[in-house]
Amino acid sequence: MKKKILTIVGARPQFIKVSPVSRYLKDYADEILIHTGQHYDFNMSDIFFEQLGIKKPDYNLEVGSGTHGYQTGEMLQGLEKIMLDEKPDGILVYGDTNSTLAGALAASKLNIPVFHVEAGLRSFNRKMPEEINRVMTDHLSTLLFAPTNTAVRHLSSEGIIKGVHLVGDVMYDAVVQNVKVAEQNSDIIEAHHLVPNQYVLATIHRAENTDDKKRLVEIWEGLNLIHMPVVLPLHPRTRKKIEDMGLKVTSEHLKLIDPVGYFDMLTLEANCLSVMTDSGGVQKEAYFLKKMCYTLRTETEWVETVELGWNRLVPADREIIKTVLNKTQSPDIKSYKEVYGDGKAAQKICDLILQA
């Protein structure tokens, strides 16, 4: 008899992570897919399911936006009911979102095993909601799938040894599987009249940047000082903050566009000169595609990218942003190392779940 696995997703990076795992798991287990509705805009949600070949969710909680307490509480109620009805053999959660924490909490109180993909990441910044989510989820999990040796060490330092497995990064699996087909099916470079390797790709969405007016103004002014095209797909939340603060585009080079689907995003990443972001997922995708990344944070969970010279932490300072982006210089390709696995993380995760 096949195991019944309940998978919980709710945000753009999780749709990407779930794709290679579900592709492999579907042949060996009955997977029930729950979309919490944490990201509900078409370009932040539905289009990812379409492009990545993820099956339509069996449940959609349609939680939408709100405070962390509201979102997590609504998800807890909805997820508990589904778990009681479905009686799964385990639940599969991804990363550090409110959806992940709600799933882990609901399952642990019902004595259902929790399987955590991307376990062991740490920023060591407890002011980040994502840090609280991932730490709590790791301590509630039965199987912990670590993407790197660093993640394994973090778990060990917290006394978490049992059930820990070094498997590699499922986002690397997704890039390996999709980058060529993405470029073949995307016209975003032509649509925005971009020249490969002659533009910067930027993303801003983390609360530490969008909710702090001083930081957001410095970042915004810095992007307006770049001497080459800067493409900025605007997260709906970031767009609202910019509008509320009355920030304007003052440079002919800064191009604001709507959120993009996975194929368009991969294509933008693969063809840019460099990336500036506060996204963990985009940091990694930049590294996988051998693009220099500048991260608008004071720390990163993906320390390997910094240690190898392909990622630099940049303060919210307009002059520093202007300087680093106008003088982008990628490191020697010889410094690049395959530190995120062999592109078969999803298969290893599924095999371990089936053996549990």
Tell me how long the chain is. Answer: 356
Q: What is the DSSP letter of 64?
A: -
List the beta bridge partners of residue 275: 201, 293
* Spatial distance between the Cα atoms of 231 and 203, rounded to a whole number of angstroms: 9
H helix count then E strand count, the chain: 16, 13
The CA distances from residue 273 to 33, 73, 194, in Å, are 37, 42, 11
131: helix, strand or coil:
helix
CA angle 287, 290, 294 (to 5 degrees): 55
Structure tokens at 288: 């996988």
Q: What are phi and psi of 260, to 5 degrees?
A: -115, 160
Structure tokens at 100: 């992940």
| Residue 204 and residue 241 in contact, taking contact as beta carbons nearer than 8 Å | no
The residue from 39, 116, 154, 205 that is catalytic is 205
Specify whether 205 is catalytic. Answer: yes
Q: Mind telling me the catalytic residues?
A: 205
